[in-house]
Each structure stands twice: as C-alpha cells, then as structure tokens.
Copies of this chain bind each other. A is one copy, B any other.
Amino acid sequence: MNSAELVKQIEQKRSFLCVGLDSDLSLIPRKFRQEKDPIFAFNQAVIDATHTYAVAYKPNIAFYEAMGPRGWESLQKTMEYIPKDIFTIADAKRGDIGNTALKYAQTFFDPASSGLNFDSITVAPYMGRDSVEPFLTYHDKWVILLALTSNVGSHDFQMTKSEDYMPLYERVMRTAMSWGSPEHLMFVIGATRSDFLQKVREIAPDNFFLVPGVGAQGGSLEDVAKYAMNSNVGLLVNSSRGIIYAGDDTSVSAAREAKKIQEEMDRYLDEYRK
C-alpha cells in the first residue's frame, strides 16, 4: 500500500486507528478457547467488530511465535482475513545484518516465502543502515523504525545525548531519513509527552508515525493529534488491549471501544489537520 492509498482510507473512515492484535490464549474470552483455532476465531471477531473504524491492524508477532508452528498458521489465516484495503503492520522489531535482514523481509513481505504479505514491519535500528535497507527495497512496503518508544527502558539509551547534544532517538531519525523517503519509512513514537511530540514532528515533518502507548499505556490521543498531525495526517495511533479485551462479548465490546476512539479521531481531524 502506498501513502496516497493510506491517506485516502483515513479520510474515508475519518480514523487513524490501528488495532493491535496482541492475541493471547490466556486472555481471550472463554468461548473462543473451544474453537479449533482459538486465536484465529478471536481475531475474526475483533476484525469483524472493528474494520469499519480501523485503518490498520498490527499483530504483535511475539504472541504468535510463542505458540510455535500453529501460531504461525493462526497468523497466516488472520492476514488472509483482514480486508485488503486495510494497512497491515508486522510488529516484529527485527534487526540483523544484510543477508539475514533479507530473510526477515521475505518472511513478512513475500507471500511465496512464508505465506505472509504485510504492508510494513517494525525494525530496530541498533545495527544500522545495512540492517534496515533490505526492507526498503520492496515496492509499496514500509519500514517502521523504532525511534522513541513508550516504555520505561526508553530512557536507558534512546535519550542519551551525544557529543553534539543530540539524543540517540533524534540521531536515529535523522540518519534513517537519508536511507529512505517518507513513502517507505515511518517511525515508532511513544505518545507520552507533548514536548517530545512537537520535537519529533519538527525532525520528520513528512513521515508517518506509528504511536503506541495510547490507552492501556496511558498517552493522550488529543495531544498526539494536536502536536504531531501533519497535512497528510501522518499518524497511525495504536490501541491493543483497550479494544480487544474490552469485554467478554468481543463483537460488541471491541466495536464499542473502536467506535469511541474513531469518533474522537473524527473531531481531531477537523481540528488539528494542518
């Protein structure tokens, strides 16, 4: 999917909501556990309930890997079930040297390889350029690079200032922007503080940001819209647990929570799109 298609979908749905499919056998409602493939059955219910409000789905790969081969099968079936006009994110946070990065790119981008055909993948920047570039060679596919994450540990290294007083997350963003255009490169930006949101939008005026940390992790959606929206919207805001585990009757509760966020986003699109 290219950015024009993504923006068009955002405009049609009046939403920049990404639903995180962190589907965990021990947390899904009991009734799904009797199904042959409980995770897929649960994901179907979530997708049915939310696809009119969401513009993206983001399975966190750890939850599928942890179940071994049958987890990968649930993931394949889920990917086939997601409507084709919705953007998909493999939240995999991979990062390895060139020939291995190419294998990871095949895994998530090349259906002939693993059966998966994601639009994008999250990638860790620690190993530098040659660990990111293999993902950027795919047409209409995206790298979503970790920049400033929303967890406590983000302070350990991401905030470290270098000799020229530039924090590491900023160096990662500025360096990566020379590797790929805003047509292929998004950043993961943890939504916690308004001053950081302003700063990262200043650093990368045209890139999309994937923003976790709204909802269960505690960020304010209005701050994200107010300080980081650009003329292309430029935002995908994720909610996982707050939507998918909102109640035992998933069809009702997930729809209700997704709609609530979509309606808020609708207002912010009027108010803050520059």
Interface residues of A (CB under 8 A from B): 22, 24, 60, 62-63, 65-73, 76, 91, 93-98, 100-101, 103-104, 106-107, 113-116, 124-132, 146, 149-158, 160-163, 165, 168, 171-172, 175
Do the beta carbons of A66 and B156 come within 8 Å of each other? no
Q: Are B113 and A67 in contact (CB under 8 A)?
A: yes
Q: Tell me the bound Cα distance from A103 to B101 in angstroms.
A: 22
Q: Which of B115, B130, B152, B161 contacts A68 (CB 8 A)?
A: B115
Q: How many copies does the complex hold?
A: 2
Neighbouring B residues of A98 by C-beta, 8 Å? 151
Contact A76 B68 (CB under 8 A): yes
B125 contacts A151, C-beta separation under 8 Å: no
Check if A65 sits within 8 Å of B151, measured CB to CB.
no
Q: Are A125 and B157 in contact (CB under 8 A)?
A: yes
Write out the residue numbers on chain B whose beta carbons fall within 8 Å of the beta carbon of A151: 97-98, 127-128, 130-131
Chain B residues with CB below 8 A from A162, complex form: 160-163
Q: How distant is the Cα of A160 from the Cα of B101 in the complex, in angstroms?
A: 23
Question: How far does the alpha carbon of A63 sit from the alpha carbon of B162 in the complex, in Å?
Answer: 36
Cross-chain contact of A149 among B63, B73, B97, B157 (Cβ < 8 A)? B97
Given contacts A68-B113, A98-B151, A114-B68, contact A157 B165 (CB under 8 A): no
